[in-house]
A and B are shown apart, each in its own frame.
Chain A
Amino acid sequence: MAFAQVFYNQSSVLRINVMVVDDDPVFLQIMSRRLENLKYRDPSTMEITVIAVKDSREALSTLKIERNNIDLIVTDYYMPDMNGLQLKKQITQEFGNLPVIVMSSDTNKEHESLTCGAMGFIQKPINATELTKIYQLALTCKRNGKSTLWTENNHNDTDVSISQQIQLVPEQDNLMMTKKKKFSPRPDARSMNSSNGTCVSTDASRKNKKRKANGDDFESLSQPSMKSKITWTDDLHDLFLQAIRHIGLDKAVPKKILEFMNVSYLTRENVASHLQKYRQFLRKVAERSSLCSNMLPSNGIDSIYPYPHTREPYYNNYTSSSSSWYGTSLNNRSFYSKPGHGLGQSRLLSNTSDPVCFSQMPHSYMNQSSTYDTHRIGSNLTLPIQSNLNYSSQNEGRRRSFLEPTANKTSQTSQALGFEQHGLSAINGSGFNNNTLISYGSLTPNQLGTNSYKGSISTQQGMTNGSLALNQPGMSAYGSSTSTQPGMSSHISLTPNQPGRNSYGSLTAPQPRMSAHESLSPNQQGISSYENLTSNQLGINSHGGLSHDQPRMSSYENLTSNILGLSSHGFLTPNQPGLKSYGSAIHSVGLNSFEGLTTHQPGSSNFSYGLQSFLNNENTAYEPQPHPHAQAAAQTNIEIPQQENLSLFDELGNINELLCDISNFELDHNKQQEAVSTNQFELPANVSTEMNQFFSLEDDDWTFVNTNQGHSNGETTNNVAPETNSQTFNTSTNHDQEQDAQDFVDWSFLNPEDLANEYDFMDSLFNGMN
């Protein structure tokens, strides 16, 4: 982005801070010098600062002070007191997944180190090539760390006690654009170009500012030149939507919006053009909505990002009965994004009458839910889709987003409208390129209006996006963001408003760390919220969302994480008539768990599924069909470096608890109870089983929804014949069946193959949209 470039040029000094821990002072001195000298290798200016500490205790106390300023930790293995691995574990426990490299003259420690989650192992004495490796690693961590930092900043604002990775919707004020890209010229040339590099971080607190590793760069970044092209990241868009909501769409003028947003680098022209685009988007949505409503007289809508069904074809699925709507929403479960994405997640938000919700996510959740209000209000479905970022070249599956031109790849969003009363929602997804991706879709509008959504995509590595919208009649919109390359962040947003509403956010994080995010908003009638996030590699994120409110609601969330880290997520929403929710999560190596569930009376569907990929950089996970295979394949390949991290809760600690406040939710014990599937979340062993679960969602269930107003047989809202799925589902004998039936959705009904079909369908739908 030109905008980003401006910043880049302004301050092209990347500072890398490495902490070296060793009891040998001689080694410390030599190593420090060698590392500092590395900066001369890089033509682009870079400063490497080495913090040398002689023991583990000092290392930990230094970290406490300089937490966000340290990009990489290199530690000796053999040390008196606490050895290198113990230190690593301690660091992870206290500070999250910071990258740690272990050294030793003893090569036997290599395997053990890697297993425990060290980013690397280097043998002493360290020769020049290994030093270069450290340097490269430091560079990567630095880049990744930025986004993580960013997302973590927002974490402070959240009330949810979620692991530090969770990020909340950024606050309006003090948006900061942070972009610093430091690339080693050759290898990353590509990434430099493609990545937006723009991470908008909300400077919610002073602390955030200080924590920025590149403090000085940050300052310089805050004043973009007026002429630079602005990147409408999810956060920005979110802010924009809030402004519109506040002012009122009809009264929205760039000047007022600008004032409300209060973003220093934004100009009136930026806002004006963005507003114009947004209006166009709304028009499109409205058109579709009317189109849809013709076809679906009484259906709710559901839109799921991955499913194109929101588009015309989708309408075909609708029938006048609410049940059909229900069914279609189920179809939405094709949350899988096209192959190529890491995780698919979809989240459906729907408004349901009952604010029942509960979430329990002991493990990862997958959510995907579509809900719709059979009776009335539209439901929002949003499907967040996520792909994980990891390394693999997955290219995200599809991400569609309506909007925003910001996304590189973009996604389109589709919305499905229709339903009796309200409008429908659109979802969008965003695509992003390269590595990860996530996408997301969402929301529902009610009544007439519809919502819009925004998605953004980020380049390369991470990306996420979310969107939501809301507004009176129809509404909901949302934005999402994605990040590029290494780090990544995601976003969420949401807005509730009178009738319908929803909100949602998501984020993803790439590589090392990851962030999480969530959002939610409840409001009167319908609501939904959702959030999800993904993380890849090392870190993981978690997320949760929830919402509940009177009439209906749905929420959902999901997240995925990959490799090492893992995330979990959960969410729930229960509500009366329609309800849905769901989340899905995906992750690769690392594990994540996720769950979602919803219960509600009559119709409701939930489903979730997760995608996973990453394991071996395969995008295969996305293909519904190959999923099971992919899983198998992926599994074999996957190494689960850190066993400890697999368990969702270990890593995050907080995950164990429900992310959302359950007290507001009432579990709807009837029917849906059985629907809850007992997914097991233990990762390592269960990865495959989980995947199966995810993929085993049956199509039938979805259809079921149509016919069945509200019987839930237990496995999925009312499954017609989950046989197909059950097979897959059953294959995972490891499944942990202990979960409360009521708490989990049984996704076994989802049939990957079926999903695949829908997937294409959705895809075409989306493609048509855009």
Chain B
Amino acid sequence: MDALVAQLQMQYRNYTVSLYQQGFLDDQFTELKKLQDDASPDFVAEVLSLFFEDCVKLIGNMARALDQTGTVDFSQVGASVHQLKGSSSSVGAKRVKGLCVTFKEYCEANNYEGCVRCLQQVDIEYKALQTKLQDMFNLEKQIIQAGGKVPQVDIN
């Protein structure tokens, strides 16, 4: 089974590195991983679940704010965007965070179309990230089930 473990570990390593390289994750994520230890083995998973729930909620808020018939309250949209920006930067969701920056600019410019577009993009991005991370977690589980340890991936 060592071969399997080794193989899984390599797969895991490559996958993780690719996530960083594609800009899905940044060093904040690395920091987050460091907070996980034997005492709290699911820390990262918990935080990420929380993040994704937050995403759903905030995007819902933004959608509602933008969906107003009549005058759109951009400050309200902006507030939600700001929150999302904060959360995403805490977990290291790089792409989501980048989008939020752009989104915020549109809000400040009261650019309705821009905001709507950004909203759609944010929706896509966070779902994509969620899928990727899910795959990563699955790999981790497999490694553990195969009797191995999840390797520390060093991103440089």
Q: How far is the CA of A606 from the CA of B76 in the complex (A)?
A: 62
Pairwise interchain contact A125-B50, C-beta atoms closer than 8 A: no
Report which residue of A37, A124, A125 has the largest number of chain B beta carbons within 10 angstroms of its beta carbon: A125
Note all chain B residues with C-beta closer than 8 A to A105.
85-86, 89
Contact with B50, one of A29, A37, A124, A127 (Cβ below 8 angstroms): A29
Q: Is the CB of B35 within 8 A of A26?
A: no
Considering only CB atoms, which chain A residue lies closest to B48 in the complex?
Answer: A26
Segment 8-36 of A: residues with Cβ below 8 Å from B: 23-27, 29-30, 33-34
Question: Within 8 Å CB of B50, what residues of A?
Answer: 25-26, 29
Is the Cβ of B43 less than 8 Å from the Cβ of A25?
A: no
Q: Is A23's CB under 8 angstroms from B31's CB? A: no
B86 to A, closest residue via Cβ: A24
Say whether, besides A24-B54, A33-B43, A80-B79, A124 and B89 are in contact (CB < 8 Å).
yes
B90 at the interface (CB under 8 A from A): yes
> In the assembled complex, which residues on chain B have CB atoms less than 8 Å from the CB atom of A65?
none
A568 to B51 CA separation, bound complex (whole angstroms) = 49
A37 and B47 in contact, given A24-B83, A125-B90 (Cβ under 8 angstroms): no
B9 within 8 A of partner (CB): no
- Contacts A33-B43, A78-B82 hold; do A26 and B87 have CB atoms under 8 A apart? yes
The residue from A24, A30, A80, A124 contacting B32, defined by CB atoms under 8 A apart: A30
Summed over the interface, the residue pairs from A and B with CB atoms below 8 Å come to a total of 48
The CA of A136 and the CA of B13, in the complex, are separated in Å by 36
Mark contacts of B17-52 with chain A using CB atoms, 8 A cut-off: 1 yes-contact digit, 0 otherwise: 000000000001001100100001001001100110
Q: Which residue of A lies closest to B76 (CB)?
A: A80
* Contact residues of A between 64 and 111, Cβ < 8 Å to B: 76, 78, 80, 105
A482 to B42, CA, bound (A): 49
Q: Is the CB of A26 within 8 A of B82?
A: no
Distance (whole angstroms) from the CB of A128 to the closest CB of chain B: 7
Interface size of A by Cβ–Cβ distance < 8 Å? 18
Interface centre among B32, B43, B83, B89 (most CB of A within 10 A): B83
Known: A30-B32, A33-B35, A80-B79. A125 touches B47 (CB 8 A): no
Residue of B nearest to A33 (CB): B35
CB atoms of B82 and A125 under 8 A apart: no
Known: A78-B82, A105-B85. A27 touches B35 (CB 8 A): no
Contact present for B46 and A24 (CB under 8 Å): no
B156 to chain A: closest CB distance in Å? 16
Task: Note all chain A residues with C-beta closer than 8 A to B118.
Answer: none
State which of A30, A80, A127, A128 has its C-beta within 8 Å of the C-beta of B47: A30
Q: Is the CB of A37 within 8 A of B87?
A: no
User: Of all chain A residues, which has the CB nearest B32?
Assistant: A30
Residues of B within 8 A of A125 (CB): 28, 89-90
B107 within 8 A of A: no
Q: Are A124 and B86 in contact (CB under 8 A)?
A: yes
User: What CA separation (Å) do A502 and B86 show in the bound complex?
Assistant: 60
- Rounded to whole angstroms, the CA-CA distance of A127 and B85 in the bound complex is 17
Task: Say which size band chain B's interface belongs to.
Answer: 20 to 34
Q: 8 Å CB contacts to A: which residues of B60-92?
A: 79, 82-83, 85-87, 89-91
A335 to B: closest C-beta gap in Å? 53
Residues of B within 8 A of A24 (CB): 54, 83, 86-87, 90
Q: In the complex, what residues of B have CB within 8 A of residue A26's CB?
A: 47, 50-51, 54, 86-87, 90-91
Identify the closest chain B residue to A104 (Cβ): B86
Whether the pair B79, A27 counts as a contact (CB closer than 8 A) is no
- Among residues of A, the one whose C-beta sits closest to the C-beta of B57 is A25
Chain A residue with the shortest CB-CB distance to B91: A26
Residue of A nearest to B43 (CB): A33
A30 touches B91 (CB 8 A): yes
**With A and B bound together, what is the CA distance between A80 and B78 in angstroms?**
12
Q: Which residue of B lies closest to A30 (CB)?
A: B90
Q: Once the chains are docked, how many angstroms separate the CA of A260 from the CA of B16?
A: 72
Which residues of B sit under 8 angstroms from A128, Cβ to Cβ? 31
Interface centre among A30, A80, A127 (most CB of B within 10 A): A30
Chain A residues within 8 Å of B86, by CB: 24, 26-27, 76, 78, 105, 124
Q: Quick one: given A30-B90, A30-B91, are A25 and B31 in contact (CB under 8 Å)? A: no
Q: Can you name the residue of chain B whose Cβ is closest to the Cβ of A22?
A: B86
User: Which B-chain residue is minimally distant from A29 (CB atoms)?
Assistant: B47
With a CB–CB cut-off of 8 A, which chain B residues contact A34? 31, 35
Closest to B37 in A: A37
Which residues of the other chain, B, contact A29 by a CB distance below 8 angstroms?
A: 46-47, 50
Is B32 in contact with A23, judged by CB distance below 8 angstroms?
Answer: no
Residue of A nearest to B31 (CB): A128
Select from chain A the residue with minimum beta-carbon distance to B53. Answer: A25
Once bound together, how far apart are the Cα atoms of A177 and B135, in whole Å? 58
Provide the residues of chain B in CB contact with A124, threshold 8 Å.
86, 89-90
Alpha-carbon distance A27/B47, docked complex (angstroms): 9
With the chains together, A39 CA to B31 CA distance in Å?
17
Question: Which residues of the partner chain A approach B28 to less than 8 Å between Cβ atoms?
Answer: 125
A29 to B91, CA, bound (A): 10
Residues of A within 8 A of B43 (CB): 33
Within residues 82 to 123 of chain B, which ones have a CB less than 8 A from any CB in chain A? 82-83, 85-87, 89-91
- Shortest B129–chain A CB gap in Å is 13
Q: B54: which A residues are within 8 A, CB to CB?
A: 24-26
Give the distance to chain B from A257, nearest Cβ to Cβ, in Å: 53
Residues of chain B with a CB closer than 8 A to A127's CB = 31
B:123-149 near A, CB below 8 Å: none
Contact with B along A25-66 (1 / 0, CB 8 A): 111011001100100000000000000000000000000000
- In the bound complex, what is the Cα–Cα distance between A80 and B79 (angstroms)? 8
Q: Across the two chains, which residue of chain A brings its CB closest to B54?
A: A26
**Chain B residues closer than 8 Å to A27, beta-carbon distance:** 86-87, 90
In the bound complex, how far is the Cα of B50 from the Cα of A143, in angstroms?
35
Once bound together, how far apart are the Cα atoms of A25 and B43, in whole Å? 14
Can you name the residue of chain B whose Cβ is closest to the Cβ of A34? Answer: B35
Q: Which residues of A contact B85 (CB under 8 A)?
A: 105
A30–B89 touching, CB < 8 Å: no
Bound-state CA distance A33–B36 (Å) is 9
**Distance to closest chain B CB from A126 (angstroms):** 9
Interchain CB contact under 8 A, A23 and B47: no
Q: How far is it, in angstroms, between the C-alpha of A23 and the C-alpha of B86 when the chains are bound?
A: 10
Is A37 a contact partner of B35 (Cβ separation < 8 A)?
A: yes
**Interface-central residue, A23, A26, A30, by most chain B CB under 10 Å:** A26
Complex formed: what's the CA distance from A26 to B92 in Å? 11
A26 to B47, CA, bound (A): 6
Chain A: CB-nearest residue to B92:
A125
Complex Cα distance, B46 from A25, in Å, reads: 11
CB distance from A289 to the nearest CB of B (A): 68
Closest approach, in angstroms, between the C-beta of A665 and any C-beta of chain B?
A: 57
* Cβ–Cβ contact A23 & B35, under 8 A: no
Note all chain B residues with C-beta closer than 8 A to A25.
Answer: 50, 54
Residues of B whose CB lies within 8 Å of any CB of A are 28, 31-32, 35, 40, 43, 46-47, 50-51, 54, 79, 82-83, 85-87, 89-91
Q: List 19 A-B contacts (CB under 8 A).
A: A24-B54, A26-B50, A26-B51, A26-B54, A26-B87, A27-B90, A30-B32, A30-B35, A30-B91, A33-B40, A37-B35, A78-B82, A78-B86, A80-B79, A105-B86, A124-B86, A124-B89, A124-B90, A128-B31
Known pairs A26-B50, A27-B86, A30-B32. 10 more at Cβ < 8 A? A24-B90, A25-B50, A25-B54, A29-B46, A30-B35, A33-B35, A78-B82, A124-B86, A124-B90, A125-B28
Q: Which 4 A-B pairs have the closest CB atoms?
A: A26-B87, A27-B90, A24-B86, A33-B35
| A residues in contact (CB < 8 Å) with B | 23-27, 29-30, 33-34, 37, 76, 78, 80, 105, 124-125, 127-128
